[in-house]
Amino acid sequence: MSSTLTSARMGQIINYYANPSRPGTPAYRLARLICDNQATRDITIDLIQESVLARLRNHPDRPLTEKELSGICTRLGLERVLQRRFHIPASLYRAALLYIRALKDRGLKPQHTDRTERARIWDEAVRAHMAVQQRRLLDGSRSSIRWLPLADGTTSNPRTPGRAMSCGGLDEWERLQRQWTGHDTRSFSCDKGAFHDQTAFAVPSNIETQLFEDEPFAPDLAWLEAHGITVERARCLSDRELEDAGVDPAAFRLMLERA
């Protein structure tokens, strides 16, 4: 049985997983992306502490153990960090991950690839992934599909071609990379190595290693308040907007009903 945590031991464990120089940790993955070790450490500690407090609120009579805390830390995947701290929709991140993997498979460097070719590679990667998801839907191994954006920011759903998605596409992803690094976006994904170093996925969320089977992010009232979102504004969000942001609409509506 795992022992109950002391404050000192809790600090040691959190500091371990918040170390941006330690391969395989959540902080390492984030640091490879935003290139700011101090910000990475602060963000990682903040999110871990949020999760710990949520666990203590949900089970106040059950002491937190070392094993549980380690589990909380290792489940802090990059997708969740991007959603919670950078407000980047899961759909955009998932499409970008497919795109960057496709570039690597082709042995291409974005800085040596023109915009038309980059867009074509993005679309091919997304459509190939969605074809697999559709087959899984038909054989019953999936109950639903999250449609990812094409390079031009429109949906990959063949039933609604040309419909713009709020998450954007290739241009939005490259804008975010410029914002993070201050460098030309096209050189980022290969030169910085955030996605190409396999150690970056040593302790991943499901999005990074298991064909994106992770649970949707479910914000609570405290999260809405912390981000300046009123209940009235939250009630105006459409299911499509929520899905694009990686939020389960049904769970979100239920949370608002109880507010």
Query: What is the mean predicted confidence (pLDDT) over 44-64?
Result: 89
Contacts of 42 (CB under 8 A, 6+ apart): none
Give residue 141's pLDDT.
Answer: 77
Write out pLDDT tens, residues 182-228. 544 333 333 333 433 322 322 233 333 333 333 445 566 766 665 56
Which of 137-146, 172-181, 184-193 is least confident? 184-193
pLDDT confidence tier of residue 164, bands split at 50, 70 and 90:
very high
Return the SS3 of 80. Answer: helix
pLDDT in tens, 70-102: 888 887 777 777 877 777 888 898 899 899 889
Interval 5-14: pLDDT, tens? 788 899 999 9
Domain ranges of the chain: 7-76, 90-209, 221-257
- Three-state DSSP state, 164: strand
Q: How far apart are CA 131 and CA 42, in angstroms?
A: 39
d(CA 194, CA 208): 12
Residue 249's pLDDT is what? 67
Q: Is it the case that residue 237 has pLDDT exceeding 80?
A: no
Taking a C-beta distance cutoff of 8 angstroms, is the pair 15, 9 a contact? no
Residue 196's alpha-carbon distances to 29, 35, 180, in angstroms, are 11, 15, 17
What DSSP designation does 112 have? Answer: G
Q: Mean pLDDT across the chain, nearest whole number?
A: 77
pLDDT at 33 over 80: no
Residue 161, pLDDT > 80, answer yes
Average of per-residue pLDDT across 112-139: 92
Percent of the chain with pLDDT over 90: 25
